[in-house]
Copies of this chain bind each other. A is one copy, B any other.
Amino acid sequence: MRFDRENGVVTSKYTVIAGGVGAARFLRGLAAAVDPSSITAVVNTGDDGWINGLWVSPDLDTVTYTVSGAIDTERGWGLGDESWRVMESVGRYASVRPDGSSAANTWFNLGDRDLATHLYRTARLREGASLSAITDEIRRAWELSLRIVPMCDQPVATLVDIVDTDGTERRVSFQEYFVQRRHGVPVRDVHFDGAADAIPTFLPDIDSADAVVIAPSNPIVSIGPIRALAGVDAALSARRNSVVAISPIIAGAALKGPADRMLIELGHEASVVGVARLYAPICSTLVIDQRDTDSVARVEAEGLRCVVADTIMSSLDVARALALTTISAVA
């Protein structure tokens, strides 16, 4: 809660723990529901990495592009009105490295318009700027009022132990699992490389927020890296009464991505109850979809209050309504 002495206005503060698509849609709804400058989006950077010589931060960009209304809504990632001239040309360099492996990444598509963002971020990283500072510059370039902060300025890599298509167990980067293998292989374990040494910059934003929202993102690989940073779970549990999560699992399935399979493969339940168990230590309230109404009692048995809402953000109106329901639940 902030009191503006000059105008005598009391403003609430909202901190949103965010992954990619689902979180971005929620943030767009929240920015339409409340003063955008009262929102801080803390975004997963475990999916970040070097692609074709550029540092790519998929979740940060999905949030920026979605809140701007510039995202390609059909594809779900990248910019609308996009072209692919650069990627088409990268193919020439796919197999010229002596060992036959490919420095030219031809499976992670970067659109021509989108590439400008990666070029800018990479150029600024080379200059020694922090990812936080760069992210704020990109936010201003898109004329957004909400704050967008990477979960940390140090590189953290989400690594996935998979059983590969050839039957071999392999540890691969998140993008090698998610994009290159289209998350079509079993997952044995997940690691957040570098998380122990990374410093979360947003702990004050948890302490001072009127409501902390855990967005409807993959609990393991989107929210997981943020929770893996030192002090985050402690900060959240200290504010547990003000922390509300939205279940990314609806009627036992993820709307998008592998969250449902991944939960099962890692020994959890792919249901709102499974989500409730994962979040119970840090979160007092879970928003579940209306299709899961019959699970309310089981969620509450895990020690969380349960709120039922339409969580399928098929329009900005639904997202705004969900945002209002969510923050009201802990306000």
Contact = CB atoms under 8 A, between A and B. Distances in A.
Interface stretch (A113-121, A154-162, A237-245): A113-121
Interface stretch (A22-30, A83-91, A217-225): A83-91
A50 B96 CA distance: 23
A54 B138 contact: no
Copies of this chain, whole number:
2
Given A96-B137, A96-B141, A141-B96, A120 B53 contact: yes
A113 B86 contact: yes
Interface stretch (A122-130, A172-180, A313-321): A122-130
A96 B54 contact: no
A119 B53 contact: yes
A75 interface: no
Interface string A93-115: 10011100001110000001111
Contacts of A83: 83, 85, 112
A93 B53 contact: no
A103 B86 contact: no
A140 interface: yes
A119 B85 contact: no
A97 B138 CA distance: 9
B89 A115 contact: yes
A138 B126 CA distance: 24
A92 interface: yes
30 contacts: A52-B119, A52-B120, A52-B122, A53-B53, A53-B54, A53-B119, A53-B124, A54-B122, A83-B83, A83-B85, A85-B85, A85-B113, A86-B86, A86-B115, A89-B112, A89-B114, A89-B115, A89-B116, A90-B116, A91-B116, A92-B141, A92-B142, A93-B141, A96-B137, A96-B138, A96-B141, A97-B137, A103-B120, A112-B112, A115-B115
